[in-house]
Each structure stands twice: as structure tokens, then as C-alpha cells.
Amino acid sequence: MELYIAVFLISAGATFLQTSIGFGFAVFSMVFLHRVFPYGEAIALCQAFAAVNTVYVAIRYHKYIQFKIMIPLLIPSVLLGIVFTIYSYSVETQYLKAMLGLVLFFLSIYMVRYSQKIQLKPSTRNGVFMGSLTGIGNGLFGIGGPPAVLYLLPATDNKLAYLATAQAYFSINNITNLSTRFIKGDIDLGNYSYLFAGWAGVAVGVAVGLLAFRHIKAEVLKKCIYAFVGINGVWIIVQELIL
């Protein structure tokens, strides 16, 4: 019972972040899920919970999705996400955990130092580059949000367009990567009850997250996003070194 409550709370907290600032589900949930489930299963559960969250928000705000901006980001992230998901099965779990902590650690340093100077134009080249980083991160770690939002935030017209486009983008990535992991056997249907616990958390997190999003000013939203990118990197690397 304690594990079900933990899954519910993790999913609710991750959904609140994803819905209120546009990303953060995988970053938040993987800090905890990979410590109580096998690594591959933790990623699969994370993506199964996140997919419900992102699909719902994308459908609700579908009128604001800016497909022209999303496509250059989407194609490489989907293709590389599948490739690196398959590749991750040939890498020892402890190395994946170490790589996860290392990647987010350096990302956090970069964001803290240069976040105010980041100005990515919505070009095809920048979209392909950031989409490639997202696909690699999704495939190896189940975490690819930070590069995507750094591209989408300045590229979209307003915060609703940002939220809708980001959630549509994450929905497609979650579904394709989750399908790959399902085929590879990372989802144990005998543990379906954990899915229901996580989805219940999603329902709570979406309601509270959308309420917070409506009251966040665009400039505050940007600062929250950059700050969270930095904080999550430091947190995960500390856990990898200490625990």
C-alpha cells in the first residue's frame, strides 16, 4: 500500500510541474521511480503516466498548437528516441544512472550561468539540434524536456501556445518511446495497479497545475522554467553521489 501511495504522490507532483510550467514530469518522477522499480520499468511507468497528462492538455488546448514550430523539433526526437531506447538495453543500468546524473549536472551549470542569455530562434537547424538532444535523453534516461522547452519557450507566441505546443510534442514522444519499451517488455501487465495509482495522481496534478498556470505571468513562467532546469540537475547528481 505504501508503494501505491508513493506512486500516486510522485505522479501528482510531476504532473503539477508538467502542467504549470510545461515540462518536468520525467525529471521529477525519475528521481524517485528509478529507486523503487527496475530502471527500464521506471522509465516505462514514467512515460505511461506522463502520456495521459500531456495528451489531455494537448487536446484541451489544441487550438494553440503551433505545428510549424514543432515539426523540426519532433522528427529527430522521435527517430533518435526509438534508436537510443533500443540502444539503452545494451548498457549496464548503473552506467545509465551515472550518465543521467552527469548530463543533468552539466545542464544545470550551463543554465545557472547562461539562462538569461539563451535566445534560440525558431529555425530548422536549431529545432533539429534541440530535438536530437531530446531524443537521446528520452531514449537513454526517459528525460528530454529541458532541451525542448529551451527551444519552444522563445519560439512560441504566448504562454498558451507554448504550453499547447510543448504538450503535443511531448505526447508524441511519450507514446512512441512507450510503445518501444512495451515491445521490449519493460511494462509488466501484472503491475497494472501501479498504472491506476499513477493516473489518479495525474488527475489531481492536472487540476492543480492548470490552476497555477493560469495565474503565472509569462516572465515569471520563464524564470520558473530556467530555475527548475538548474535545480533538478543539481538534485539528481547529489543523489547519485550520496545515495
Residue 105: per-residue pLDDT: 65
Q: What is the pLDDT of residue 33?
A: 85
pLDDT by 10s per residue, the chain, length 243 = 788 889 999 999 889 988 888 877 887 787 788 778 887 788 888 888 999 999 999 999 999 999 988 999 999 998 998 888 888 777 766 666 666 667 666 665 665 566 556 556 678 888 888 889 888 887 877 777 777 887 888 788 788 999 999 999 989 988 887 888 778 776 666 667 888 899 999 999 999 989 988 887 766 776 666 666 666 666 656 665 555
**What pLDDT is recorded for position 229?**
62
Read off the pTM.
Answer: 0.79
Q: Is 67 exposed, middle or buried (0-12, 13-18, 19+ CB in 10 A)?
A: exposed
Per-residue model confidence (pLDDT) at position 108: 59
176 neighbors 86 (Cβ within 8 angstroms): no
What does the pLDDT read at residue 133?
86
> What is residue 216's predicted lDDT score, i.e. its pLDDT?
78
